[in-house]
Amino acid sequence: MPLPDRPLRKLGFLTIGLFDGDDPRPGHESTLDVIRFGEDLGFDSAWVRHRHLQHGISSPVAVLAAASQRTSRIELGTAVIPVGWENPLRLAEDLATVDVLSGGRLNPGVSAGPPVHYERVRDALYPDSGDHQDFSHDRVKRLLDLVRGEPASAFSGTEGIEVFSDRVQPHARGLAERMWYGGGSTRSARWAGENRMNYLTSSVVKAEGDAGFEQLQLSQVRTFRAHHPDGDRARVSQGLVVVPTDTASAEQKAKYHDYAAKRLPRTASPQGPARLLFAPDLVGHSSEIAERLHANAAFREVDEVAFALPFTFEHADYVQILTDIATALGPALGWRPAT
């Protein structure tokens, strides 16, 4: 078995936070319970996905604000907030506020590009300026500058009895160093490195040339670090769908393997106009998954992971999966739970 080049230092998990549209509270409470459970198991981080106009978390910043008050140690991340939906100034204020409330535990992950199905939502999202919005990396750069404390106003001082600041308040010290870019292409990897962000790479990348998923992901990790001032010390987190079955029931095992089998055909070739490549889901005993990860060239170049939980499983399934990751798979990868 090939050995990882870097010992696994940080272990996290990612959830989409599904809920019932007719009764949304139980799903949101389940997400918060899963995050708190992850902290109890010793996970280093918990991440939430972002879904607009779907039955998934539409406001990850609000959800993580609640999670910050139910936990005390675990880092809280977004993977990712598509900034095309956001006003960078207002988002910077929200992120800073939650970071302060959490005691400096927020890890905001963001991405560039137009909103999904923009033609369907443009009139509701930007009714007066839809044709003039900038969805490029420049929009993310505006957010970064504001989080870093660059001026947001031409005025600071006292006006009457009110005091005004020229930068986002509260200013969350250290938050800028915990900003992540969720990328899937060589271009985005290079941009993230040049702009001193951390890099989130997932189970989806854009096809470039004839290379397969693993080699593309490895190339993007190396490109990011080659253009980051910190070089090989620049932070990268890999997020694959990982489902250990060590303590799963026979019914759960059958469900998990069926889930992965239905998704496997999409990994054979690039999908859709964007030519997206998907990594296979890793389902099996922790020892089997550890062996496959140790053989993964991209995994062997990172020391942080945020394993993605399948979207459609039940709360009890997530408890079993997280327990197996923390007690079996993580240690098999050289990780030790946080205290």
- List, for residues 111-147, the tens digit of each pLDDT value: 999 999 999 999 999 999 999 999 999 999 999 999 9
Classify residue 133: in a domain, yes or no: yes
Classify residue 230: in a domain, yes or no: yes
339 pLDDT band, cuts 50/70/90, is confident
The per-residue pLDDT for 2 is 43
Classify residue 5: in a domain, yes or no: no
CATH number for the domain that contains residue 302: 3.20.20.30
Classify residue 3: in a domain, yes or no: no
Average pLDDT over residues 273-301: 96
In whole numbers, what is the pLDDT of the chain averaged over residues?
Answer: 96
Number of domains observed in the structure of the chain: 1
- Residue 181 lies in domain: 10-154+166-332
Classify residue 326: in a domain, yes or no: yes
Classify residue 160: in a domain, yes or no: no
The 3-state secondary structure of the chain, one letter per residue = CCCCCCCCCEEEEEECCCCECCEHHHHHHHHHHHHHHHHHHCCCEEEECCCCCCCCCCCHHHHHHHHHCCCCCCEEEEEEEEHHHCCHHHHHHHHHHHHHHHCCCEEEEEECCCCCCHHHHHHHHCCCCCCCCCCCHHHHHHHHHHHCCCCCCCCCEEECCEEECCCCCCCCCCCHHHCEEECCCHHHHHHHHHCCCEEEECCEEECCCCCCHHHHHHHHHHHHHHCCCCHHHCCEEECCEEEECCCCCHHHHHHHHHHHHHHHHHHCCCECCCCEEECCCEEECHHHHHHHHHCCCCHHHCCEEEEECCCCCCHHHHHHHHHHHHHHHHHHCCCCCCC
7 pLDDT band, cuts 50/70/90, is confident
Question: Taking the model in full, what pTM does it have?
Answer: 0.96
Classify residue 339: in a domain, yes or no: no
Tens of pLDDT, residue by residue over 295-318, are 999 999 999 999 999 999 999 999
Average pLDDT over residues 176-182: 98
The per-residue pLDDT for 1 is 40
Classify residue 4: in a domain, yes or no: no
Tens of pLDDT, residue by residue over 188-243, are 999 999 999 999 999 999 999 999 999 999 999 999 999 999 999 999 999 999 99
